[in-house]
Amino acid sequence: MSEIKADMHLESVCLRHKASDQKRLTNLREAMKGGWSGRPLLVIKRPCYEVLTGCHRAAVAMELGIPIPVIAIPDEALTPEQREQVLSGEQPYDTLAHFFRENGLDTAATLMEEEMKSSWAEPVAPTVMPRTRSRAGGIRRVVPNPKNDKQ
């Protein structure tokens, strides 16, 4: 794979899930002492840029004050429904990679594929909060799960 160049570098991002694997965090701290190395992270803009790949790398970079290289999925690249599907946390990386490739987002697809191959990332899906439905219009609402708060 040829090197993927970052769209931009960010000082901070929003994490999709808690970076809690202490062994991975320790290894990343050691690896990042000299700065960022490796491919950029894939992000999507919400109110903040939310990380789709690399929450542990992002957490360590923010802790160490290292700018985070990112590839941002353009706002206009996805419909609101597609954005919600991507951000739901319910899709495995291979499904997202296929979805991105089908929608002409080849760099995003490649980053997802590389994430699956990476030794940094095991195939873990972000924490999915239980959903509730409103009675009016079937609007999906995410509610906190008390089990997740005890971590």
Domain boundaries, the chain: 8-122
Among residues 71, 51, 47, which one has the least CA distance to residue 60? 51
| Amino acid, single-letter form, for residue 110 | T
The pLDDT assigned to 147 comes to 52
pTM of the full structure? 0.74
- Per-residue pLDDT reduced to its tens digit, 26-48: 999 999 999 997 899 999 988 89
Quick check: 51 and 58 in contact, CB under 8 A?
yes
DSSP string, 132-150: EE-TTTT-EEE---HHHHT
Q: List 9's β-bridge partners, or say none.
A: 69
Quick check: 13 and 48 in contact, CB under 8 A?
yes
Residue 150 has pLDDT above 70, yes or no: no
- Per-residue pLDDT reduced to its tens digit, 66-120: 999 999 999 889 999 998 888 888 888 889 999 999 999 999 999 999 888 875 4
H/E element, 9:
strand 8-10
CA atoms within 13 A on the CB side of 38: 21
Give the three-state DSSP class for 10. Answer: strand
For the record, the structure tokens of 114 come out as: 């590389």
Q: Which fold has domain 8-122?
A: 3.90.1530
For the record, the structure tokens of 115 come out as: 């994430």
Measured CA to CA, the distance from residue 74 to residue 77 in angstroms comes to 5
